[in-house]
């Protein structure tokens, strides 16, 4: 298992590099750019816009921009005559802070050395922005994942055991509705009913806006988590329940289930101890994308409920052409996806002892 995991992690390195190259290329070829997003003044002269482009470094060829993002700028700047001024081919001092003071040579270390750069709009390190948003994203993602599993798996088992009954019919109809109803519509309806009409739950945000110094522990603000968690978990509940039902229908006809019944075991032991474990193998496949969503964020849900997570900051960064923040969110999503599918493969072996990785 250790050798298999290590091999998969090593294979993920070129995958991440390819994803970063493709994402940066798409971002660079998209219409507009950070200069247009920053300069809405029609009276601004073309030379001023050109100067801003030079300061941001977005006028360089896309491969040069990508290498500067990946490796830093120390390889691009040198002083050939010793006068203290960089005079290489691409050596233009970059005023990334827009404060009129160009950065000294060699201050950008690159992503490979842990430097994600600075946000063009927020004027601060991207790492600080990601560090602030990750806890909110994990909080919402883990809550919705656990809710989807704890409700979807038992519902699927009971629906298979009581096939054709009223419970099976209701759960099938509910799963279709959860899959068919758009997330944004469901979120708005819940906000309208429980937030505006009944005033039982907050209409958005992660904690009261009147607080200073950050949000309190999650146990003191559970009411803010209920609506976004439920909206984000509806898709998981529908998927897990339907696939668990289909998998259980294949399992309950096996010989070992009949043997367990013949031994006089209770229905709970037969279905949940012997049957559910083998039926979980197909469900483990969907845990990969679900784990990926923990760091990728849920842009629609976070936007509707004003949840300060990675999904929301990713959408705003795309609209603003904030290249460094966009690339950070993309890479985190790619890493989460790779880890998620690796977890799915490992779960196969944990659920079914017959599966071994050589």
State the pLDDT at residue 220.
Answer: 86
For residues 93 and 133, the answer to whether their CB atoms sit within 8 Å is no
The whole-angstrom separation of Cα 189 and Cα 350 is 40
**pTM of the predicted model over 0.75:** yes
The whole-angstrom separation of Cα 20 and Cα 66 is 9
Helices (H), 30-125: 34-38, 46-56, 62-71
CA distances from 263 to 162, 249, 260, 269 (A): 21, 21, 5, 11
217-264 pLDDT, tens per residue? Answer: 888 889 999 999 999 999 889 989 998 898 888 888 788 888 888 888
Q: 141: closest CA among 314, 327, 284, 336?
A: 336
335-358 pLDDT, tens per residue? Answer: 888 888 888 888 877 777 666 666
Sites in the chain below the pLDDT cut of 50: 78-97, 100-106
State the pLDDT at residue 42.
Answer: 67
Q: Which CATH class is domain 126-351?
A: mainly alpha
Residue 184 CB neighbour total at 10 angstroms: 13
State the pLDDT at residue 296.
Answer: 64
**Stretch(es) of the chain classified as CATH 1.10.3720.10:** 126-351
State the pLDDT at residue 92.
Answer: 43
DSSP secondary structure string for all residues of 7-18: HHHHHHHHHHHH
State the pLDDT at residue 79.
Answer: 44
State the pLDDT at residue 264.
Answer: 82
């Amino acid at each position: 298992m250790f050798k298999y995991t290590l091999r998969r992690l090593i294979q993920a390195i070129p995958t991440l590099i390819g994803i970063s190259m493709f994402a940066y290329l798409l971002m660079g070829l998209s219409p507009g750019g950070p200069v247009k997003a920053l300069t809405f003044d029609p009276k601004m002269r073309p030379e001023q816009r050109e100067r801003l482009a030079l300061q941001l470094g977005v006028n360089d060829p896309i491969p040069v921009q990508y290498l500067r993002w990946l490796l830093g700028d120390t390889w691009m700047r040198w002083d050939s005559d010793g006068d203290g001024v960089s005079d290489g081919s691409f050596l233009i001092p970059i005023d990334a802070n827009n404060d009129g003071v160009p950065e000294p040579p060699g201050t950008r270390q690159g992503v490979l050395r842990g430097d994600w750069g600075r946000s063009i709009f927020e004027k601060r390190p991207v790492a600080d922005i990601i560090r602030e948003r990750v806890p909110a994203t994990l909080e919402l993602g883990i809550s919705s994942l656990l809710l989807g599993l704890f409700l979807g798996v038992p519902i699927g088992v009971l629906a298979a055991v009581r096939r054709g009954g009223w419970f099976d019919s209701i759960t099938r109809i509910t799963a279709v509705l959860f899959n068919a109803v758009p997330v944004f519509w469901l979120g708005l309806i819940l906000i309208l009913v429980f937030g505006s009409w009944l005033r039982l739950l907050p209409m958005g945000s992660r904690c009261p806006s009147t607080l200073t110094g950050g949000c309190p522990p999650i146990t003191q603000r559970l009411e803010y988590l209920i609506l976004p968690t439920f909206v984000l978990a509806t898709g998981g509940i529908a998927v897990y329940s339907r696939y668990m039902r289909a998998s259980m229908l294949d399992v309950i006809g096996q010989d070992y289930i009949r043997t367990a019944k013949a031994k006089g075991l209770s229905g709970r032991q037969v279905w949940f101890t012997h049957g559910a474990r083998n039926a979980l193998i197909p469900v483990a496949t969907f845990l990969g994308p679900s784990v990926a969503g923990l760091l990728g964020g849920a842009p629609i849900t976070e936007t509707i409920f004003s949840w300060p997570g990675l999904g929301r900051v990713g959408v705003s960064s795309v609209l603003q052409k904030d290249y460094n923040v966009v690339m950070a969110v993309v890479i985190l999503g790619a890493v989460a996806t790779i880890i998620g599918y690796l977890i799915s493969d490992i779960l196969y072996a944990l659920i079914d002892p017959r599966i071994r990785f050589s």
